[in-house]
Amino acid sequence: MTVLHDPIQPPAGRIETKNTTCYMCACRCGIRVTLRDNEVRYIQGNPDHPLNQGVICAKGASGIMKQYSPARLTKPLKRVEGAERGAAQFEEISWDEAFQIMEDRLSHLRETDPKKFALFTGRDQMQALTGLFAKQFGTPNYAAHGGFCSVNMAAGMIYTIGGSFWEFGGPDLERSKLFIMIGTAEDHHSNPMKIALSKFKRDGGRFISINPVRTGYSAIADEWVPIKPGTDGALILALIHELIKTGLYDRDFLVQYSNSAELISTDEASDDFGLFVRTDIPQDTECFEAQDRVWWDRTSDKPMHAREESVDPYLLGEFTMPDGRQVKPAFQLLKDRVEEYTPEWAAEVTGIPAETIKTLAHEMGITARDELIELPIAWTDAWGKDHETITGNPVSFHAMRGLAAHSNGFQSIRALSILMSLLGTIDRPGGFRHKAPFPRPIPPCAKTPKGPEGVQPNTPLDGMPLGWPAEPNDLFVDDKGEPVRIDKAFSWEHPLSAHGLMHNAITNAVNKDPYDIDTLLIFMANMAWNSSMNTDEVRKMLNDKNEDGSFKIPFLIVADAFQSEMSAYADLLLPDTTYLERHDVMSMLDRPISEFDGPVDSVRIPVVPPTGECKPFQEVLIEMGSRLKLPAFTNEDGTRKFRDYPDFVVNYETAPGSGIGFLSGWRGKGGEKFMKGEPNPNQWEMYEKNNCVYHHHLPKSFQYMRNWNRGYLKWSQEHGLQRYAEPINIHIYSEVLMKFRLAAQGKLEGKQPPERLRKRVDENFDPLPFYAEPLEVQLTDKQKYPLAALTQRPMAMYHSWDSQNAWLRQIHAHNYMYIHPSTAQAQDIEDGGWMWAESMHGKVRCMARYSEAVEPGTIWTWNAIGKASGAWNLDGNANEAKKGFLLNHLIAEELPKNECGEHISNSDPVTGQAGWYDVRVRVYKAKDDEPKETYPQFDEMPAVPGTGERRKKQGFFAGMFTKGAK
Amino acid sequence: MTQLALVIDLNVCVGCHACVTSCKEWNTSGPAGFMTDENPYGKDPTGTFFNRVQTYEIGEFPKTETLHFPKSCLHCEDAPCVPVCPTGASYKREQDGIVLVDYDKCVGCRYCTWACPYGAREIDEDQKVMKKCTLCVDRIYDESLPEAERKPACVLACPTSARLFGDVHDPESDVSVTIREEGGYQLMPEWGTHPSNHYLPRRKTRMHIHEDELQRADNPLNKEQRGPSGPVEGTTLDDSTSW
């Protein structure tokens, strides 16, 4: 390759462009890929794509280096007989052999005890398929990454407002005036958030960031409010206190659209204590939440049927029903609850001055009340009342793992949802808006089996592997109240664990707690590194053996595109394709990319052929589903039903003739239908012609107030989005939670928690949000371990996905521990010097970096930049291994032994959300004679067969790169 | 005379590095490429980039500002890198003011690196020639591209549209209007280089709360007073007057 004289003359070569969808993070932007002589020359944002509108991020623009990384796995591999797991000693095998090994093993398990097969997946974006496979196999032991990511955010909001942030909804920055971002990782959400935030700021919106650390998005905030980690709930409850005290809430909204005015029995002697008072109108069994509640009417001063046109209820007060029961409206109970949560109290807890908290509440309340938006859009509510306009209060929020990844996160997020509701901002212009298929009933209808009888040999699971319990009897437990799932999800330990607890699956399986499994299949989840808490021990567990020398987890299958840390532990290692090499769907059955104005789903279509013998994991599942003769993948005569994954996507229906499949666009024989319709043989071509995306624009009158919008609810029912067209009222008071509490108190018939968990359920299933320190913090000696330690995610790296990327690793090759100078200097730790951070579980040695942009009681680092030596096919002495480190070594997957038991997950007691950010540490200077490298270090992982050469120098030039040019 | 340049809005830049890698992916396979990476999979990886983002902290906790600062060749009007070049490889185009390097003439002597007060030049350690931002001169005149895409790769990529591109000599251009109206400034003007690229400063939106906004007639708490519902116990005037 010679250098070129003419700065404009394009190099020679055959140019093609193709559209597909990015997968450098979970954002799923539309991309246009330019190829030159069949090599990727340029990846740009697709200007015609609704999500990213032509822009692309640092990761997306570096896809070329992912595609041609030497860390690519390219051949099916089998662990060398007798080699230790983790040593990465593999021999090549054929796909035929790999399939045969899996078929023999899995068919036996399915015939005997299907729960012995466990399938856990990472940020895979194909839960519709992996979940279907698990259900069809008949194993309950399936989950994706949500339990260790942000299930608190999903569950806390969905159990309150019927929707949540990111894929399910978000801030309407187009019309918002005040935007508050709390504890947000900088890739949740990525490009759409950047686009919207920039426009918002340019339009004069005010942006406040509440976060212990000021990086990324927070950097451009008009005001940064530093907060102590894990205290968000205290702040939010104090904001609610101040809003109620000053009368800055939206009373009309709360009355009509939430259960604020509905009366609750406060009479401890009554049968319905803690439950809503109900009218004697017979319950509508076709409804998920009967409209049978009672208000106390201001005019007649009597209890009346709620939401009658003529009734004007009290929100506050205490009343006596004609039968003598004492009752209060939900809002009064909320007011009682937040009485003690004064700004002065919260200042002590959060480190935010009381005046700042009051001002925040006043800014929110005044903006909401005085900047009313009124759009000339007529709509009809669920009770039949016509409205000439859509109104809204322009205060919006966004929050993610900073709130979620604490064991008190569920209740903090309940509090946030209630704060948003008090401001009257749910699915209204300028506030929070849903994205289809949300809103859902509270809780959503999907349920798991209710006991071990739901798991039977040679039979699909009797329910979904993951679901949304509405009451104790929905739990997935045996007759002693103990878990049926290996991760103990949907048991009394974590009743509402809607995304499972993948972070405990390995530990539980090794401890045979509640039982042992045979085969664990892990798809693109780095459980031997950044996706596990207590990483060092989990790595040992993966290799742990019984006395007879057999592995405690007998068979371990790993499917991944790259030589991750996890791949070293596989017995069978399956090479996946990259996103540029395969068909994919961002399905309405999983987490689509919908916009506020309507449902959107999208696809990936290969732009280059698979490398080596790489096979899309979807094809592996289709093949295995056919070989195992799982009903959904097999014709009645037992023959294979689907040729391959694209064929499956077109022809699979959720039930015979349901018309609902993986893709919602261009359904019907000629592509004339959407959402529902018979399979269309040309569906892929139609997506391809339309930028790989289907975007259905709802009429304006269906775009707001969707919890209560008759038109929208009927539309979504008619199009198969949901079973019901009933109003979805906001749960200020959660009767769902109260039922679990009553069961724990022995006051509700049906399933009962084991004795050891009664107190835990009673305390945590509070129907109103409360603040308590995270569980781990409660069990920590804070004199000894005074500091919080947490991670942030950089915008240029997604989890551990990009250290094999030659360009991105030049941005983040190693990570520092960011620490406030005063905190560091108290321990003689120098800027750039080596230091230790130690928790009660473990310690890391790392380099310190002084920062004024961190709350002094907190230290932090970038997540997953540190790598094990040799992993991701980097040199053993790469910066990632020698200067980079993983905070996970400080964090345990189980709580210290406590009254609830010895093996209780370090997670939210309601949802099972991993408490990543609850760890407390102490710091001290590393001694001068210690090695100048991070601790812990691990034996170097060798390059596995089929991976590429680690070039010492490279100059990528599309069209010549794989032909041997530099 | 045209002077093409970038205007970078620090008010919305979140430091995502999209400009850094989109620049690299476009230019490494173009006339300015390739852009070498040394030790791409080993210790201390380093490589040629035309554009980098630096991050600064300003002030002390809790009054801290975090500033992301993207930096590339500023295409100075009086570019000090041009006259110092002994071979004439470093030149400024008359038609659009873009400063370029002719690799065929460059001998890698690095005089231009020393002359540039902004540190915008990078030697390609493999090819031993000086490389730098070309403002994607191979894109902006390429008529095979849709007109909207005839922009530098970094401008197209930028998710916050913090990068504006245009002719700073045309007083009616978007970039000139923005510089004028939003307080656009040059880096180190005291050097007399007249950098063409400009930066827009941080701008704060604040809210002032007036007392009357908190003492509200529409306070919904007023609706919660329960009216008298029946006769009250005890003595009232009813018991003691006789008119």
CATH number of the domain that residue A873 is part of? 2.40.40.20
- In the beta sheet, which residues pair with residue A837? A844, A923
- A552 and A457 belong to one structural domain: yes
* Residue where a domain terminates, one of A405, A437, A469: A437
User: pLDDT tier at A9 (50, 70, 90 boundaries)?
Assistant: confident
Tokens of A751: 């399933």
Q: Which of A442, A436, A487 is nearest to A468 (CA)?
A: A442
CB-CB contact of B64 with B58 (8 Å): yes
Least confident of A218-222, A656-660, B196-200, B239-243: B239-243
Report the pLDDT averaged over residues A898-923.
97
Q: Rounded to a whole number, what is the distance in Å from the CA of A458 to chain B's nearest CA?
A: 47
Residues in A closer than 8 angstroms to B202, CB to CB, are 220
- Interface contacts A/B by beta carbons within 8 Å: 287
Residue A596 lies in a domain: no
Q: Establish if A580 touches chain B: CB-CB under 8 angstroms.
A: no
Please give the mean pLDDT across all residues of chain A. 96
- A288 and A342 belong to one structural domain: yes
Residue A307 lies in a domain: yes
Instruction: Examine the pLDDT at A2 and tell me if it is beyond 60.
Output: no
Residues in B closer than 8 angstroms to A875, CB to CB, are 39, 41-43
Q: What are phi and psi of A323, to 5 degrees?
A: -85, 5
Instruction: Examine the pLDDT at B243 and tell me if it is beyond 90.
Output: no
Question: Which residues 55-74 of A have a C-beta within 8 angstroms of B?
Answer: 55-62, 64, 70
Query: Which residue on chain A is closest to B41 by alpha carbon?
Result: A874
> Beta strand A178-182 with A206-210: parallel, antiparallel or unpaired?
parallel
CATH number of the domain where residue A561 is located: 3.40.50.740
What ranges make up the beta strands (E) of A598-706? 600-604, 693-695
pLDDT in tens, A927-938: 999 999 999 999
Higher pLDDT, A673 or A800: A673
Domain ranges of chain B: 4-200
pLDDT above 90 covers a percentage of chain A that reads 94
Q: Which of A807, A915, A800 is nearest to A864 (CA)?
A: A800
- A251 and A112 belong to one structural domain: no
Tokens of A515: 């039982």
Nearest CB neighbour to B41, from listed A43, A366, A875 = A875
CATH number of the domain where residue A54 is located: 2.20.25.90
Q: Rounded to a whole number, what is the distance in Å from the CA of B88 to chain A's nearest CA?
A: 13
Pairwise CA distance, residues A715 & A710, whole Å? 8
Report the pLDDT averaged over residues A695-711.
98
Q: Dihedral sign, CA of B143, B146, B150, B152?
A: negative
Where does residue A162 fall: left (phi above 0), alpha (psi -120 to 50 degrees), or beta otherwise?
left
Residue A661 lies in a domain: no
CB-based contact B31 A8, cutoff 8 Å = yes
> Beta strand A77-79 with A572-575: parallel, antiparallel or unpaired?
antiparallel
CB-based contact A44 B66, cutoff 8 Å = no
What is the span of the domain harbouring residue A317? 162-437
- A430 and A467 belong to one structural domain: no
pLDDT in tens, B111-151: 999 999 999 988 988 889 999 999 999 999 999 999 999 99
Q: Which helix (H) or strand (E) holds A415?
A: helix A409-422
pLDDT of res. B240? 78
Instruction: Examine the pLDDT at A281 and tell me if it is beyond 90.
Output: no
- Chain center to CA of A123: 9
Report the pLDDT averaged over residues B55-80.
97
Residues in A closer than 8 angstroms to B216, CB to CB, are 247-248, 369
CB-based contact A853 B223, cutoff 8 Å = no
User: pLDDT tier at B229 (50, 70, 90 boundaries)?
Assistant: low
Tokens of A729: 């009222």
pLDDT in tens, A438-470: 999 999 999 999 999 999 999 999 999 999 999
Q: Establish if A216 touches chain B: CB-CB under 8 angstroms.
A: yes
Instruction: Examine the pLDDT at B14 and tell me if it is beyond 60.
Output: yes
Residues in B closer than 8 angstroms to A42, CB to CB, are 25-26, 29, 153
- A300 and A374 belong to one structural domain: yes
Tokens of A374: 């009124």
Question: Which residues 371-400 of A have a C-beta within 8 angstroms of B?
Answer: none
Instruction: Examine the pLDDT at A664 and tell me if it is beyond 60.
Output: yes
Q: Establish if B84 touches chain A: CB-CB under 8 angstroms.
A: no
Nearest CB neighbour to B224, from listed A3, A316, A808 = A316
Q: Rounded to a whole number, what is the distance in Å from the CA of B193 to chain A's nearest CA?
A: 24
Q: What are phi and psi of B193, to 5 degrees?
A: -85, -15
Q: Establish if A363 touches chain B: CB-CB under 8 angstroms.
A: yes
Q: Establish if A796 touches chain B: CB-CB under 8 angstroms.
A: yes
- A142 and A196 belong to one structural domain: no
pLDDT of res. A186? 73
Q: Establish if B88 touches chain A: CB-CB under 8 angstroms.
A: no
Instruction: Examine the pLDDT at A858 and tell me if it is beyond 60.
Output: yes
pLDDT of res. A964? 55
Q: How far apart are the first and last CA of chain B?
A: 100
Report the pLDDT averaged over residues A808-817.
98
pLDDT above 70 covers a percentage of chain A that reads 98
CB-based contact A204 B205, cutoff 8 Å = yes
Residue A600 lies in a domain: no
pLDDT of res. B83? 97
Question: Could you identify the residue written with the tokens 């001694």?
Answer: A927
User: pLDDT tier at B232 (50, 70, 90 boundaries)?
Assistant: confident
Instruction: Examine the pLDDT at A804 and tell me if it is beyond 90.
Output: yes
Nearest CB neighbour to A856, from listed B35, B61, B148 = B61
Q: C-alpha dihedral over A794, A797, A803, A806, to 10 degrees?
A: -110
Q: Which helix (H) or strand (E) holds B58?
A: strand B51-58
Q: Establish if A101 touches chain B: CB-CB under 8 angstroms.
A: no
> Beta strand B198-200 with B4-9: parallel, antiparallel or unpaired?
parallel
Q: Which of A917, A920, A925, A816 is nearest to A866 (CA)?
A: A816
CB-based contact A194 B160, cutoff 8 Å = yes
- A535 and A426 belong to one structural domain: no
Question: Which residues 187-206 of B have a C-beta within 8 angstroms of A?
Answer: 202, 204-206
Side-chain-side CA neighbours of A62 within 13 Å: the count stands at: 30
Q: Establish if B135 touches chain A: CB-CB under 8 angstroms.
A: no
Nearest CB neighbour to B159, from listed A191, A226, A249 = A191
Q: Which of A591, A599, A602 is nearest to A702 (CA)?
A: A599
Pairwise CA distance, residues A559 & A575, whole Å? 6
Residue A939 lies in a domain: no
CB-based contact B157 A207, cutoff 8 Å = no
Residue A746 lies in a domain: no
For chain A, the domain total comes to 4
Pairwise CA distance, residues A881 & A354, whole Å? 44
CB-based contact B207 A363, cutoff 8 Å = yes
Helices (H), ranges, chain B = 18-28, 111-115, 137-140, 153-157, 174-182, 211-214
Q: Rounded to a whole number, what is the distance in Å from the CA of B104 to chain A's nearest CA?
A: 6
Residue A281 lies in a domain: yes
Higher pLDDT, A201 or A965: A201
CB-based contact B103 A4, cutoff 8 Å = yes
Higher pLDDT, A799 or B157: B157
DSSP notation for A821-862: HHHHHTTTPPTT-EEEEE-SS-EEEEEEEE-SSB-TTEEEEE
Q: Which of A179, A174, A163 is nearest to A199 (CA)?
A: A174
Cis preceding linkage at A443, omega within 30: yes
Query: Which residue on chain B is closest to A62 by alpha carbon?
Result: B21
Tokens of A876: 């053993």
Pairwise CA distance, residues B103 & A133, whole Å? 57
CB-based contact B223 A957, cutoff 8 Å = no
CATH number for the domain formed by residue range(s) B4-200 = 3.30.70.20
Pairwise CA distance, residues B11 & B65, whole Å? 12
Report the pLDDT averaged over residues A912-926.
98
pLDDT of res. A603? 98
Report the pLDDT averaged over residues A793-804.
93
- A455 and A357 belong to one structural domain: no
Q: Which of A9, A36, A52, A55 to mutate to test the interface with B (most CBs of B within 10 A)?
A: A55
pLDDT in tens, A730-747: 999 999 999 999 999 999
CATH number of the domain where residue A248 is located: 3.40.228.10
Cis preceding linkage at A343, omega within 30: no
Report the pLDDT averaged over residues B201-213.
95
pLDDT in tens, A308-319: 989 999 999 999
pLDDT of res. A902? 92
Instruction: Examine the pLDDT at B228 and tell me if it is beyond 90.
Output: no
Residue A529 lies in a domain: yes
- A20 and A86 belong to one structural domain: no
Q: Which of A8, A122, A30, A43 is nearest to A864 (CA)?
A: A122
Pairwise CA distance, residues A267 & B206, whole Å? 48
pTM: 0.97
Q: Rounded to a whole number, what is the distance in Å from the CA of A217 to chain B's nearest CA?
A: 6
